[in-house]
Chain A
């Protein structure tokens, strides 16, 4: 038996333990006490009995009566002597008295053995008794002989009788003395026994006293323990009761033993008592309840098994009224005070938590939306600003040849530099915001040569740095293998170009160096380390962390000095991350900056640089023509685009109407039944998506094929595209061939009853297609699709830019590379991919300082440009427009 309770509530750890030793000693003391009492008691009783006090009393009487009986006999003898007449009748009372005396002497003699001859007076007493017996027998002999007595005989008997009197006296007194002594001895023995008894009783009393103390101590401890346990129990009960989780105590069979009010709230049973009911009956939904019913023990076992590690399980439960709710459940096995197995179930209603989570999700989505809205706004703004900036630059360039004062020349140069800086800024912002849009990297890895890319960048940087006392160079450390790697060329170019630009921008004297270090091919694959070092002012350590953040420069003063937006390093950092690397900076004030990153660089064979032969792919497929009379609608806020689209659709056999905004488009589509609608996405007022939705919502033309047109196929529009009900999104610039293909696909597709398709990457892939047509059929189309004056004005500016770029290249002017770069963009914009490709080729060749390739590309570009002009002038000639500004 071991009662052990530990409670740690408040104060030190009091261990109230009633040890087995204490119990044992109490029991032992009790046994000893009872044993001693029994022993002493029986000892005393035995002593009392052994002393034979009763018999002593009686023997005293027996001896005392000896003389009495003798004297009665002597009296009877006297009576007989004095009788008037001696007769046998006289003898009867005499004999009777003698017989009584006789028996008395026998009785006295029977006590003879009681006395010890060794005792003082003992021997005398025994002798006396023996003499008395002898004397009695002598008397008996005389008396028994007499039949009729004579007086003489009686007197003789009397005389003989009297002889014994002294002996009788001696015997009586001796016996009394002996018996008295024996009696006092007995008393002493008894006294001893009583003393022993008292002593033992005292011991026993002490023992009982000790037991009583122990018992009291025990009682106090038990009371303390009971109080403590009650307090612990109360605290625990309060804790459980205050718990927001439902707590249900279950028997091992799943019967409810008790539960807190949170559980009552969760199971909606404040008005009924659940104790004794099965929790499974109340809380388990039908399917699991059936499983429980079929084998409760196995169900409980598996439930406990699942929740053994005390992890919480989210599941569906129902209330006592049958309402289902999402709950979080934990089970714990425990033992109650009697050692029986019990189960504690913790239940949490997730309604509020889930609602809270949903609120958070909504808030997050809203934040993300507004962030992406901001991003889109930035993206759009940058796009919008690019065109006017191009205009400004082009116009400033046109001013160059005019007669200007030296001051105005300087002002013009400042204006040109400022415009160029603004354009660069806008392009940086565009690069960041399109990254920011957060599209995961989906473009596939492609083989490219980092060395070639670096050469190009260094070439461009040299041009920028030539007015300063700064040299730009690069080194390559190769560990065998090929310099060509599988990766993201665009990201690599962006990262290195920005780092180099940054270095050149901030270095006034000294050098900018790019180091490419190819690592060895090992188990984890080859890596390429890129370092860009300069001898510029350096970046103080305390601001290095901020250096990579967007819109950061080291200080406002320096920002003003270098007029940088601080986006370059941010762009570089992002590009490095996209390649799977981290951009590091090692720099000290006035000791230059050393940027480095390393990226995975799997080796691939160098692709053969091949000339792309012009081919008339555009004309390969015959254009689609609608078979029946059908109406089409073009919606675009840009008049030029509107006309271009109109002309294209008319070519495909449609009767075309135009709308300059969404509202107008909705009106028109409710008036006419259009089979096809081309919808510009970015429009003031209703945008393309909203317009499409409005048309789909119930206009006459709700069944039309609606194709979205956008210059920016940003993926964040995918969601809006889906709900807008458009069939497809097409990227600008759009050729008649592409349009024909898409229209035929969707019109025929609709006839076949197939589903509309999602925006596809085909449009994006079109960018990678090197569709080179020496004489673009598209261009003639543009000329058709605009009012002549408008078209001519527009086209003139474009062609002039390209012409000036080519001229600049021919004269090897300082900024010709930039001019060529911009010209390539313009060529793409007006739909001349062949020219664009040739101009790109020039750019690359220049960077590589590959004179042969450059020359070849230059002549290609010039030839294509010439042919286009010939075509256009031909058209013009046919139209008798001899004064065409294109006729140069």
Chain B
């Protein structure tokens, strides 16, 4: 794509963004976990991009699409830490898109589960 632009975020840069934190269980893990990291909204903001659709791509090539309007200011987050510790690929790290599933039934839907992509590698924005 001719006008494509790429912004790289390393851990430090992600840590510089406003941090969100919540504790929730997930259907993929056992017990409550405390997730922290910048919100996807802030990440996109920091990248200074705009578009209609956000593509989230995982390490295994798994890709989901999210309408821009679905992105709330603080939800989802791009979790960089679980229980305050960075987490590895074996622990679905280093980046995991997480919603506060316990907070509201609307976060416990098929669509939201599908968007909860772990081992996040790329975020692409298309018009």
Contacts and interface: CB of A to CB of B under 8 A. Distances in A.
A24 B25 CA distance: 49
Interface string A393-427: 00000000000000000000000000000000000
Given A49-B108, A69-B60, A103-B119, A58 B91 contact: no
A471 B42 CA distance: 156
B105 A49 contact: yes
Contact of B27 (A55, A69, A100): A55
Interface string A57-81: 1110010010011001000000000
A58 B59 contact: no
A99 B89 contact: yes
A62 B118 CA distance: 12
A362 B106 CA distance: 105
B29 interface: yes
Contacts of B110: 53-54, 57-58
Interface string B85-123: 000111110000000000001001110111000110000
Contacts of B92: 103, 106-107
A102 interface: yes
B108 A54 contact: yes
Nearest to B87: A103
A110 interface: yes
Contacts of A53: 110
Contacts of B118: 103
A96 interface: yes
A68 B61 CA distance: 12
A99 B90 contact: yes
Interface string B10-41: 00000000000000000111100000000000
A54 B28 CA distance: 13
Contacts of B113: 54-55, 57-58
B90 A110 contact: no
A57 B91 CA distance: 22
A272 interface: no
Interface in A32-62: 49, 52-55, 57-59, 62
Given A69-B60, A72-B60, A100-B59, A106 B105 contact: no
B66 to A, nearest CB: 16
A624 to B, nearest CB: 141
Given A49-B108, A58-B110, A58-B114, A110 B60 contact: no
A55 to B, nearest CB: 4
A68 B59 CA distance: 13
Nearest to A108: B28
Interface string A322-346: 0000000000000000000000000
Interface of B is mostly: loop
B28 A99 contact: no
Contact of B59 (A52, A55, A96, A113): A96
Contact of A103 (B30, B90, B112): B90
Q: Give the interface centre of B27, B108, B118, B119 by most chain A CB atoms within 10 Å.
A: B27
B86 to A, nearest CB: 14
Nearest to A48: B105
A777 to B, nearest CB: 149
Contacts of B29: 107, 110
Contacts of B112: 54
Given A49-B108, A100-B89, A103-B119, A113 B30 contact: yes
Given A55-B113, A62-B28, A110-B28, A103 B108 contact: no
Interface residues of B, number: 20
Given A55-B108, A107-B28, A100 B88 contact: no
B90 A106 contact: yes
A53 B109 CA distance: 9
A58 B90 contact: no
A99 B88 contact: yes
Contacts of A110: 27-30
A45 to B, nearest CB: 9
Contacts of A69: 60
Nearest to B92: A103
A505 B14 CA distance: 158
B105 to A, nearest CB: 6
A103 B89 contact: yes
B114 A103 contact: no
A69 B113 CA distance: 19
B116 to A, nearest CB: 9
A100 B119 CA distance: 8
A188 to B, nearest CB: 20
Contact of A106 (B27, B91, B114): B91
Nearest to B90: A102
A100 B90 CA distance: 6
A55 B114 CA distance: 10
A637 B46 CA distance: 154
Nearest to A140: B90
Contacts of A49: 105, 108
B78 to A, nearest CB: 17
A511 B59 CA distance: 163
Nearest to B109: A54
A72 B60 CA distance: 9
Contacts of A99: 88-90
B60 to A, nearest CB: 5
A96 B108 contact: no
A58 B111 CA distance: 10
B30 A100 contact: no
Interface in B33-71: 59-60
Contacts of B108: 49, 52, 54-55
A96 B60 CA distance: 9
Contacts of A58: 27, 110, 113-114
Interface in A71-130: 72, 96, 99-100, 102-103, 106-107, 110-111, 113
Contacts of A68: 60
A54 B113 CA distance: 8
Contacts of A107: 28-29, 92
Nearest to B59: A100
Given A55-B108, A106-B90, A100 B60 contact: yes
Interface string B70-89: 00000000000000000011
Contacts of A62: 28
A99 B58 CA distance: 13
Nearest to A68: B60
A13 B118 CA distance: 83
A639 B110 CA distance: 152
Contacts of B30: 110, 113
A227 to B, nearest CB: 55
A487 to B, nearest CB: 121
Nearest to B105: A49
A96 B114 contact: no
Given A59-B27, A96-B59, A102-B90, 11 more contacts: A49-B105, A49-B108, A52-B27, A55-B27, A62-B28, A72-B60, A100-B60, A103-B91, A106-B90, A107-B28, A110-B27
The 3 A-B residue pairs with the shortest CB-CB distance, nearest first, are A99-B89, A54-B110, A58-B113
16 contacts: A52-B27, A53-B110, A55-B108, A58-B27, A58-B114, A59-B27, A69-B60, A72-B60, A100-B119, A102-B90, A103-B91, A103-B118, A106-B90, A106-B92, A111-B27, A113-B30
Interface of A: 49, 52-55, 57-59, 62, 65, 68-69, 72, 96, 99-100, 102-103, 106-107, 110-111, 113
